[in-house]
Amino acid sequence: MEILNLIDTFSEFREQKNIDRSTMMRVIEDVFRSTLVKLYGSADNYDIIINPDRGDFEIWHNRVVVADDALEDPNVEITLTAARKIEEDYEIGEEVSNEFKFEDVGRRAILALRQNLAAKIQEIEKEHMFNKYKERVGEVITAEVYQVWKKEILLIDDEGTELILPRTEQIPGDFFHKSDTVKAVVVRVEYKNGNPQVVLSRTSEVFVERLFEMEVPEIFDGLITIKNIVRIPGERAKVAVESYDDRIDPVGACVGMKGSRIRGIVRELRNENIDVINFTNNTQLYITRALTPAKITRIKLDEENKTAEVYLPVDQVSMAIGRNGANIKLAGLLTEYEIDVYRDDVEDEEDVNLEEFKDEIDEWVLSTLKSIGCDTAKSVLELTPEELIARTDLEVETIQEVLRVLNSEFE
């Protein structure tokens, strides 16, 4: 019988559609009950018993026995004569329960019931998919290319779910064929024309962050924190990292021995150049590091307007700006300062390189001064003691001793 075809795939629904037992039974019962309401106006007097394990069901029709000439509603009442055909000892006022045969209502009703059931199952599938991927936003997944279109790529995950990778979310240089394996991050899940759509991205900063978590155990374990990421997809990225453990070098841990850790990330990002720098609250030092690999002579900050004038040797200017302005643009995004670059071509023959003072000043102090762009004695003396303390984090006594030594050189 056709109605049996409707039920004999309960187990398949549960296995393939990710529908749990209680949800499946509720859906099937709701479909049967709504069909009965359409046929008879009410389903309150029907008991629906579903056995998903055996793949069968029973529907019992409950009616009250009335006299043969008192029948008003055949859905809730049954004549005494009809009741005694079911069981001879029924009396008026008693309740009769007999099995309802859906096959008796006709082929059209069964077809409508089947379509209703299919629609309900599809609705649950959509809801399940939406909720599942809503929880996975920000997670990197691997999927297979199913179809390549002009504006987007359709991918399929391990469970057969369709995913979308728009052209705008692809790295310049990405080129995929059918059956290729693609790694991307889930950026959003939305309903489009009534259907849930999972959108992936390879240009998101979150994608870079997740790749670092996958390649660098210290980041995954929380020993190193990624403070900020800015990037021009396929061209250059800057990643600011910080370690709360003084024994861990965050930059070294991210790069790995001979670049072993970062090499895989660069390859996945289509050879995108990645600058990993130490995060610091010292703005001038942060800007200096952000403009890596250029070497800075000095910086003038306007903290109120969030602007910075950066002075560099002539041969370092183009390096600070970078190809198509990428380096200075990313440095500005990373530090949240508007950076202007100037050539520092004023040379002072009387100036003295800091290396000349290594007999009087500890090398680690000299290295700290160089890290903020002060390579000569006069470049240090141009700054106030307060500025030096703020930029280097050196002790007051150390700064005073440095200034004393440097000033004595010019006296």
Give the torsion through C-alpha atoms of 321, 325, 327, 329, to 10 deg.
110
Contact between 352 and 407 under an 8 Å Cβ cutoff? The reply is no
User: pLDDT tens-digit profile of 51-78?
Assistant: 766 656 788 889 999 998 888 888 888 9
- Lowest mean per-residue pLDDT among 2-6, 195-199, 204-208, 256-260: 2-6
- The encoded tokens of residue 410 equal 């010019």
Mean pLDDT for the chain overall: 86
Q: What is the pLDDT of residue 230?
A: 97
User: pLDDT tens-digit profile of 135-188?
Assistant: 999 999 999 999 999 999 999 998 888 999 999 999 998 999 999 999 999 999
Region 190-202: what's the mean pLDDT?
A: 92
Give the integer Cα–Cα distance in Å for 280 and 293: 17
Q: What is the pLDDT of residue 4?
A: 47
Residue 107 CB contacts under 8 Å (≥ 6 apart), including other chains: 2
Give the integer Cα–Cα distance in Å for 68 and 211: 79
Cα atoms in the Cβ-side hemisphere of radius 13 Å centred on 75: 11
Q: What is the pLDDT of residue 280?
A: 93
Contact between 288 and 371 under an 8 Å Cβ cutoff? The reply is yes
Give the integer Cα–Cα distance in Å for 390 and 392: 6
Give 21's pLDDT tier (boundaries 50, 70, 90).
low
Residue 241 has pLDDT above 50, yes or no: yes
The model scores a pTM over 0.75: no
Of 184, 282, 295, 190, nearest to 242 (Cα)? 282
Q: What is the pLDDT of residue 2?
A: 43
Give the torsion through C-alpha atoms of 194, 198, 199, 202, to 10 deg.
-170
- The encoded tokens of residue 252 equal 């070294």
Q: Cα angle at 376 between 370 and 378, to 5 degrees?
A: 125
Contact between 391 and 285 under an 8 Å Cβ cutoff? The reply is yes
Residue 198 has pLDDT above 60, yes or no: yes
- Lowest mean per-residue pLDDT among 30-34, 156-160, 305-309: 30-34
* Percent over 90 (pLDDT), the chain: 43
**Strand 162-166 to strand 56-66: parallel, antiparallel, or no bridges (unpaired)?**
unpaired
Q: What is the pLDDT of residue 128?
A: 82
